[in-house]
Structures are given as structure tokens and as C-alpha cells.
Structure 1
Amino acid sequence: MDSKPPAGGFVLGRMTLQQAISQVTEVYLHLHGKMQKKRLIHTVQSAPDRVSDWIPLYLERVKARDVKTETLAVARRYLVKVEPVLGHLAISVITTRHIADYLATLAGTPRTQQATRSVLLDFFREAIAAGWRADNPVAPTRSERVETQRGRLSLEHFKAIHRWSAANQPAWATRAIELAIVTAQRRADIAAMLFSQTRDGHLWIEQGKGGAKVAIPLGLRLDAVGLTVGDVVARCRDGVLSRYLVHHTAHTGRAKPGSKVRDTTIGQAFAEARDAAGVTVKGKTPPTFHELRSLSLRLYHDQGINAQALAGHKSADMTSVYRDVRGDEWVKVSI
């Protein structure tokens, strides 16, 4: 470096005053997250500890957990939006203020804000585990409270929807609704149910979300609708050869008789039946297929059946009926 100062300048140690000001400014912008554009220094140094460097490594760690495709897609979708804002910063210098300021830009979309915070919380948790930093800057932050606006499904609503479906929709749509109300399982699990899962007097379900394993007696009866699990399984058997309880019985688009009905298609069919039956909840968005699970659990609870075990939820307070065995054993629902 030429230590001779330019005209009108002077040297501070080994650099000129102008050079010192430039470097201090660069550091200030870097620490306060104001360097929105990637600078030449980043290309030259190719710093391996930036947020943008950790993103692909984090996604690989998420993928290694064997999570659902949608879970990985959600993480990627939110991080793509984070990267232009925070990606250029070293992950070790990210502060709670950085995170809070970013979340504040999402204040108009509380659900997005909440989901983004959740992804970032896990993002930095994994960074800690990998030794990239010592603490989680997301933990102290708060997101806006999101009130559930979806309307609850009542028994009367269910009966109206079921009636319309039975009279107007393909058999698989009605069977899906019936399976949901008598088993209290999620839409994706209902779409995946196989006839081979019915054995030894039970319907054996390994839930996709959470991985709980629940064995539901075929004799379990939901008094409010007058059906047992076995009744509905029997109704799923028809003249079409299929592995799936909920299956197409005719050619529909690219779907063939006997093929699985996608869970999104089940949800759409329910919405059609709901709207046609005139089911609305004042001041709320219309109940979705998922509300069948909630209604089922409420009805079974009123009937005296252990809804916690049926849902596949873990609870330290109910170990006598639902023991946390780390997913290695089946839990049978008592009736």
C-alpha cells in the first residue's frame, strides 16, 4: 500500500483517512443489515458463514428428517424471501433486532409472519446445533396473534353435508366424509387408508403428521351418526378392485377406476357439498374438511371415548391410555 497521502489528506497508521472512513462505513452497514446488495468484498472473500450459505445446508438437514414434501417446500418458500434481506450478513452477527425488523415488514399478513418466524426459529436452532452460532436470535421475538376464523362444524351441518353428498356425489366423496367422522383422522391419512390396514378387528393407522400409530377397533361406534368404523369400511368395498378405501369408481380425467383419490380432491368435494347444502357460520370462513376431525373428537368425548388416544396426540397426563413409546408401538383405542 502506498503510504503517501493524497493532496490535502493525511495517513492514519497504514491507511488514509478516506480509506478508514470507507472501511468503518462498510462495517457499520454490515452490522446493521443495511448492505442490501452483495458487495465486491463478499465475492472476493466468499465468506462461508453468511445466512445465504447456511440456507442450502439447513434445507438438507430438514430433508434428512424425512419430513413431508410440503414441509420442506414451506421452509424453502419463506427462506427465499428472507435471503435478499439478510442473506449477505454473517450468520454470527444476526441479532434479535434484525429478525424483529424483518418480521415487522410482514405485520399486514399475520399468518405469514407467524409461519416465517417458525421457520426462522428452526433455521437458527439448526445453526446452533451445527456450531454456526451460540444462541437463537428469533426466540425473544413475538409474532402477531392469529385468531382462527374458520367456522366450527356442528352435527347438524355434518348431516346436511352428508345428505347432499350421498345424493349428488361419487361414492368416494361420501365414504371419505364418513371415514373422517368415525375415525377422527386427517384428510391425508384418510386418502392413504388401505384395505390391508384392517386386520385383527382394528383399522391400523400410522399418521403422516407426527407419525403416531393408532389402532382403531372396527367395532368403535359413533352414536351420534349411528355408524361403526367397520360399517364404513364395509361400505368402501364395491365392485371396483382397489387397494384404497377411498378410490375412484370410474374414469375421471387421468384417474382410473380403483386409483387413489388425492386428498386435495377430497377437500374440494367436501367444499362443494358444504356450499350446496348451504352450510355457513356467521362471521367465519366456511368449515373445511379438517373440521370433521374436530367434530368427531368432540362427539366421541361427549360419548365417553378417549378422544386423545383416537386423535393420536401425546399427553403426559393421560399415560394410562396413551403412552409415549417413541413411535415404536401401536396404541389401541379402548371402547
Structure 2
Amino acid sequence: MGRVRTTNKGLPRGLTIKDGRYYHVTTVAPRKWTPLGRDRSQALLAWAKLEGSEPDPSIKTFEVVSLRYEREVIPTKARRTQSDNLKELERLRAVFGRVMIEAIKPHHVRAYLDKRGQQAKARANREKALLSHIINKAREWGYTDAPNPCQGVKGFKEAGRDRYVSDSEFRAVWEKADQTLRDAMDLALLTGQRPADVLKIQRADLHDGALWIVQNKTGAKRAIEVTGELAALIERINARPRERLSAWLIQDDCGKPLGTFAMRSRFDKARTLAEVDFQFRDIRAKAATDTGDLAHSQKLLGHRNREMTEHYVRARIGERVQPLR
């Protein structure tokens, strides 16, 4: 019988991680280390090909099902969702890893939620949602025909953000920001796009008189006309001297694209100096609210229906009503 792993417990036999990179390691001497990259999902796919076999389907534990889910389902999701799911999987495996999939009952899910909710209620809800999806996949794949134990287990109530950013607050942070962050803030405000969608815009996305965007979260496509202030902003960005002009519209002075964490760091510094507490993502809500036209806001933000946009706007400024007399 092989030794029980003391590290990398979530990885299958023959797959290990060293210095942030995944490797396939043979079990017979001389041991051969085959590099599989840094991306876990891609490494698992490569490992499965090298091993030439899937985990024994008769071992219907959560770990076996979740490994298949990680290989086949997670890579189809948006990059940010993949990252979140991998973190959520680690927590779920720590609790349910060796449990037979059909042995997970509603009271187990409730106990997990209550325990996890003591630290982070929102994250507990996301992990429960992932658990539910994995079990539904297990039912589709034939691992179990038992009912989904997550059904009927109520998650924690979450309060949606209702922060409206005033013009003076936006300007206060803008004044303390460096030029690259100012570009990002202005682009987010004028286009109404999510932070990740703003940062991924490339110069090649500007053509035929429009800025062409495919939203990461929903896949919604938008062609935003490059006119007025947006046209002036893009001209300003392009005219600024750089050491190197890169493919990305939002780049630092060295030509490097601005990543999510770099932007967050710069924004946190600027808002601290400005003594204002809104988040970068709140700029999208400001854009939706400031149009003064729900139909325009719906199209700009890429919402599927008007009701979603109405809720998005009213949660921040309230519903306009007539006085008694």
C-alpha cells in the first residue's frame, strides 16, 4: 500500500505541485517529472491524458466527482469564475472529499453552511451553490440517483450593494489617482462596463466607429459608439507619451497592461488619500444611474431585462415619487 499524502491532498496520484508549477511524476525509477504548467485545470487534463485512465468510477466519493468536474466543467467558465471555483473546491474537499456522493445529506449541507457562515456568509453561499452544481453533474454522470441534498437548504441572506457615487466623490478620487488609473476610471464611467471588462480592452477593439466588447460575466456583446467624451478620452489616452505602446488601451507608462490587483492597489491608495470609501465596481452603477434613461442604461450595461436595471438603479438613488399634494 502506498504512503498517505501529507501535502497536495486534493491532487490525484502522479500529480504534484512544486514552486507553483504542476508536474506529472512517474512512480517507477528513474522517476520522470513532466511539467504541466501553472494552471490547475489544464494540468489535470494533461495528467488524465498521460495516465491514460479516469479515476475508478466505482469509487463514488465527492473527491472523484469533483476532480472530473474540475477537468471537464470548470475550464468552460470565465477566468474569474474558474479562480473562484478552485478556491471553493479546496474548502469543499476538505470536508466532503472522502464522503460517498450519495451519503451527503441536507443536514450535512446545513452544518457546513452554519460553520462556514461564522467566517463568511457570502462565501458559504457560493460554496453551497458549487456543491449543488457538482452533485447535479454527479447525477447526470450516473454516480448517484439520490436527490440533491442542497435542495431546500436555505442560504444566508445577502444585502446587495446600494452605494451611489456622487460626482464630487468620483472627482475627489480622480484627483488623487495617477494618470493610468484616471484613464481606467473615466473609461469605466463612460462605458458602464465591469472592471475586468475595462482592463481587457485592446486597441484592436476600436474599429468602425465603435468600441467592441464581449462581457466576461455574461458573454453579452456591446458596440459602444466612440463619440463625445468617450472619443475625447480615447484620443487623450493615445496621445500621452509612452515608453512603449502596447495592445491594451489601459496600460502603465512602461507599456504593461494594468492587472486587476494592480488597479485595486492604485485605487485603494487614491481613495484613502481622498477620504472616500466607494469601490471601483461602484462606477458601473453610477454610469447606469447617471444616464437618466433606463432603456439607455439597460443597453449600455448589457442587462437582459429592464427589471434588472430598475432594481440596479433604484437600490442606489431610491424610487422617484410624487408628494401628497
TM-based fold match above 0.5: yes
Q: Which residue of 2 aligns with 1:233?
A: 234
TM-score by length of 1: 0.68
Q: Which residue of 274, 279, 283 maps to 1:277?
A: 274
Q: Which residue of 1 aligns with 2:300?
A: 310
Query: How far apart, in 2, do the equivalents of 1:304 and 1:83 lie?
Result: 44
Structure 1 counterpart SS, 2:247: coil
Structure 1 counterpart SS, 2:117: coil
Matched, 1:93 2:103: yes
Larger of the two Rg values belongs to structure:
1
Q: Which amino acid aligns with 2:156?
A: E
State the Cα deviation string for residues 124-174 of structure 1 (Å, max 9, x = none): 122122122233211211111122467432222112222332xxx2x2111
Query: How far apart, in 1, do the equivalents of 2:125 and 2:307 lie?
Result: 29
Matched, 1:289 2:289: no
Unmatched tracts of structure 2, length 5 or more: 1-55, 309-325
Q: Which amino acid aligns with 1:132?
A: Y
Question: Residues 128 and 150 of structure 2 are in contact (CA less than 8 Å); yes or no, is this contact kept in structure 1?
Answer: yes
- CA shift, 1:196, in A, is 1.6
Structure 2 counterpart SS, 1:247: coil
Matched, 1:58 2:69: yes
Question: Residues 184 and 292 of structure 1 are in contact (CA less than 8 Å); yes or no, is this contact kept in structure 2?
Answer: yes
Unmatched tracts of structure 1, length 5 or more: 1-44, 222-227, 250-256, 280-285, 319-335
| Cα gap change, 1:137 to 1:244, in 2 (>3 Å) | same
Question: Residues 92 and 131 of structure 2 are in contact (CA less than 8 Å); yes or no, is this contact kept in structure 1?
Answer: no
Structure 2 counterpart SS, 1:216: strand
- CA shift, 1:78, in A, is 2.4
Query: How far apart, in 2, do the equivalents of 1:67 and 1:244 lie?
Result: 20
Query: How far apart, in 1, do the equivalents of 2:200 and 2:87 lie?
Result: 26
Query: How far apart, in 2, do the equivalents of 1:46 and 1:178 lie?
Result: 53
Q: Which residue of 2 aligns with 1:129?
A: 140
Structure 1 counterpart SS, 2:144: coil
Q: Which residue of 121, 134, 143 maps to 1:110?
A: 121
Query: How far apart, in 2, do the equivalents of 1:111 and 1:304 lie?
Result: 29
Q: Which residue of 2 aligns with 1:246?
A: 250
Q: Which residue of 2 aligns with 1:80?
A: 90
Query: How far apart, in 1, do the equivalents of 2:307 and 2:85 lie?
Result: 32
Matched, 1:145 2:147: no
- CA shift, 1:75, in A, is 2.1
| Cα gap change, 1:84 to 1:208, in 2 (>3 Å) | closer
| Cα gap change, 1:305 to 1:163, in 2 (>3 Å) | farther
Greater relative contact order (CA < 8 Å, ≥ 6 in sequence): 1
- CA shift, 1:236, in A, is 0.9
| Cα gap change, 1:177 to 1:278, in 2 (>3 Å) | same
Query: How far apart, in 2, do the equivalents of 1:262 and 1:99 lie?
Result: 36
| Cα gap change, 1:244 to 1:46, in 2 (>3 Å) | closer
Structure 1 counterpart SS, 2:175: helix
Question: Residues 62 and 72 of structure 1 are in contact (CA less than 8 Å); yes or no, is this contact kept in structure 2?
Answer: no
Query: How far apart, in 2, do the equivalents of 1:316 and 1:288 lie?
Result: 25
Q: Which amino acid aligns with 2:250?
A: V
Q: Which amino acid aligns with 2:64?
A: D
- CA shift, 1:188, in A, is 1.3
Query: How far apart, in 2, do the equivalents of 1:294 and 1:149 lie?
Result: 10
Query: How far apart, in 2, do the equivalents of 1:64 and 1:304 lie?
Result: 35
Q: Which amino acid aligns with 1:147?
A: A
The 5 Å alignment of 1:128-207 reads 128-134=139-145, 135-148=147-160, 151-165=163-177, 169=178, 171-207=179-215
- CA shift, 1:218, in A, is 0.9
Query: How far apart, in 2, do the equivalents of 1:306 and 1:111 lie?
Result: 31
- CA shift, 1:185, in A, is 0.9
- CA shift, 1:310, in A, is 0.8
- % identical aligned pairs: 23
Question: Residues 116 and 124 of structure 2 are in contact (CA less than 8 Å); yes or no, is this contact kept in structure 1?
Answer: yes
Q: Which residue of 1 aligns with 2:12?
A: none
Query: How far apart, in 2, do the equivalents of 1:150 and 1:130 lie?
Result: 41
| Cα gap change, 1:305 to 1:174, in 2 (>3 Å) | farther
Query: How far apart, in 1, do the equivalents of 2:307 and 2:161 lie?
Result: 29
TM-score by length of 2: 0.70
Query: How far apart, in 2, do the equivalents of 1:119 and 1:291 lie?
Result: 26
Structure 2 counterpart SS, 1:203: strand
| Cα gap change, 1:149 to 1:297, in 2 (>3 Å) | closer
Query: How far apart, in 2, do the equivalents of 1:84 and 1:177 lie?
Result: 40
Query: How far apart, in 2, do the equivalents of 1:192 and 1:308 lie?
Result: 21
| Equivalent residue pairs, number | 248
| Cα gap change, 1:304 to 1:313, in 2 (>3 Å) | closer
Query: How far apart, in 2, do the equivalents of 1:148 and 1:304 lie?
Result: 19
